[in-house]
């Protein structure tokens, strides 16, 4: 019998303590039979999270990241698994999600999903038949070989760049996915039907990476409140 892969969930968080207990609970409810871990990277200067569980590691960073993709890359670097699955702190996953991803991945270095459930506050659930940039599983060594997500720095853009499509392209994980497509034999898709829906995006407000103010990314001296996460 083939040995199941060690899987890491990778999650960055900032300023949404109401979401952290729920995303941890969803991870712990995963029915995956192999070894798994949840790595959470928090750089909120006002909060330190504490949660005692052998499969959950929370890193309370001692400075702000000024680049959300550098933060994503740092989170993956902290993963000990062979494969990582990225999640936002306000995503919602069904218990079979990890198992389904690992079955689809097989021996490939990368697999991305086509189709998932999406809803926002006050909107009906909508089935989207699209390939989604952030919803994938990837071998950690392959991600590092591909040099991870492209990084961006505010002063590289300047105030004159405000084109949303350009901004989104740089910020979005799709830039990594496009590079994977160019690597011969590495890109793989799988499709989920509506009845097999495994993922809901997004339960809360948009993540902080849509905030264009450079002031928000300046390093701030930390004097954090300790929050013990309770499920």
Every domain of the chain and the residues it spans: 7-216
Express each pLDDT in 76-132 by its tens digit: 999 999 999 999 888 878 888 899 899 999 999 999 887 655 554 444 454 455 555
Using alpha carbons only, give the angle 51, 9, 108 rounded to the nearest 5 degrees. Answer: 160
Integer Cα distance of 86 and 11 in angstroms: 6
Is residue 215's pLDDT more than 60? no
pLDDT of 160 reads: 35
Q: Is a pLDDT exceeding 80 seen at residue 205?
A: no
pLDDT of 32 over the 60 cut: yes
For residue 121, give every residue at least 6 positions away whose Cβ sits within 8 Å of its Cβ, in sequence order, or none: 203, 204, 205
Q: Return the residue matching tokens 């070989």.
A: 145
What does the alpha-carbon distance between residue 46 and residue 184 come to, in Å, rounded to a whole number?
A: 45
Residue 68 has pLDDT above 90, yes or no: no
**How confident is the model at residue 25, as a pLDDT?**
92
Residue 19 binned pLDDT confidence (cut-offs 50, 70, 90): confident
pLDDT digits (tens, 9 = 90+) for 183-198: 889 999 888 766 666 6
Look at 53-67, 136-150, 181-195, 209-223 and tell me which has the smallest mean pLDDT: 209-223
Helix (H) or strand (E) segment spanning residue 43: none
The CATH classification number of 7-216 equals 3.90.550.10
Chain segment 148-186, per-residue pLDDT in tens: 887 654 444 444 333 444 444 445 566 788 889 888 899
**DSSP conformation class of 196:** G
- Over residues 65-71, the mean pLDDT reads 79
d(CA 60, CA 77): 15
Identify the pLDDT of residue 38: 98
Cβ pair 97, 199 in contact under 8 A: yes
More confident residue, 120 or 229: 229
Output the pTM of the full model.
0.80
Residue 10's CB is within 10 A of a number of other CB atoms, namely: 25
Q: Structure tokens of 113? A: 């999903």
More confident residue, 182 or 222: 182
* Mean per-residue pLDDT over the chain, rounded: 77
Instruction: State the first-to-last Cα distance of the chain, in angstroms, to the nearest integer.
Output: 35
């Amino acid at each position: 019998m083939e040995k199941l892969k060690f899987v890491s969930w990778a999650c960055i968080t900032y300023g949404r303590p109401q979401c952290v207990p729920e995303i941890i609970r969803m991870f712990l409810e995963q029915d995956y039979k192999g070894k798994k871990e949840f790595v959470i990277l928090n750089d909120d200067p006002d909060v330190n999270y504490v949660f005692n569980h052998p499969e959950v590691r929370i890193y309370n960073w001692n400075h702000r990241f000024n680049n959300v993709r550098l933060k994503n890359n740092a989170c993956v670097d902290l993963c000990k698994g062979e494969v990582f699955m990225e999640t936002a702190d306000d995503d919602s996953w069904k218990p079979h999600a990890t198992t389904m991803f690992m079955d689809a991945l097989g021996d490939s270095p990368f697999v991305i999903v086509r189709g998932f459930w999406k809803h926002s506050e006050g909107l009906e659930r909508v089935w989207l038949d699209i390939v989604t940039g952030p919803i994938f599983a990837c071998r950690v060594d392959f991600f590092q070989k591909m040099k991870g997500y492209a990084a961006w720095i505010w002063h590289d853009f300047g105030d004159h760049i405000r084109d949303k499509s350009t901004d989104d392209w740089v910020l979005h994980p799709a830039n990594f996915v496009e590079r994977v497509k160019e690597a011969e034999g590495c890109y793989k898709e799988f499709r989920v039907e509506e009845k097999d829906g495994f993922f809901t995006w997004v339960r809360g407000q948009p993540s902080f990476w849509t905030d264009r103010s450079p002031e928000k990314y300046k390093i701030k001296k930390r004097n954090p409140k300790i929050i013990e996460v309770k499920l």
